[in-house]
Amino acid sequence: MKPQQQFRGSPEPSIPSTETRMRATTATSISIASDDRVFVLTGAGISAESGLPTFRADDGLWAGHRVEDVCTPKAWKRDPAGVWEFYSARRAAAQKADPNPAHIALAELEARLGDRFFLCTQNVDDLHERAGSVRLLHMHGELAKSRCGRECGRLPIEDWLSYRTLDEVGHCICGARTSSSLARHLWRGIAFRNNSPRRP
């Protein structure tokens, strides 16, 4: 097949809008047999369609923030209020977002397939849950969970509150101030990455 030629003076090829791409996608179907199992992995793009910024984009969540200042154990010890301010802002933004057609389509697919469907998401928001997904795993943790700041062993609790000051942050039964479960999840990931053997 010959490559398409671009002639001088011809208009630049237009990029289809999100709506056009969505119509094209929904018009394409796949066949799922009665004994097939479906695994779906979603990432930042599906939440971006709902208006949530990604972490790594030029204007994303890390813009204006050093990872070391909001996402490490040292940052938590040095400035717990600043860490909570960062994650509280993430919670507030997530609560304003709504599931988009992609979230809803996956929830509808799960409803049809039952336990033959499993969803794993790299996202920390709850848009999949609000769309109706049940069989899912958050591989990077959940934004709306808090846990004991001393790691006393109690399970994380659901917590959608946005804290304006450190005085507003709740405490564990053991007396320790709670911390963002997501922050601690990310700390472990960063520690693992930094301590993993380097490839030659």
* Residues labelled as active-site residues: 140
Residue ranges in the chain assigned as alpha helix (H): 18-27, 44-48, 67-70, 73-78, 80-96, 101-113, 127-131, 181-195
Q: Which residue has the tokens 């049940």?
A: 134
Label residue 40 exposed, middle or buried (CB < 10 Å: 0-12, 13-18, 19+): middle
Cβ atoms within 10 Å, residue 34? 6
Alpha-carbon distance of 124 to 139, in angstroms, equals: 8
Residue ranges in 40-180 assigned as alpha helix (H): 44-48, 67-70, 73-78, 80-96, 101-113, 127-131
User: Torsion over CA of 56, 62, 63 and 66, rounded to 10 degrees?
Assistant: -130
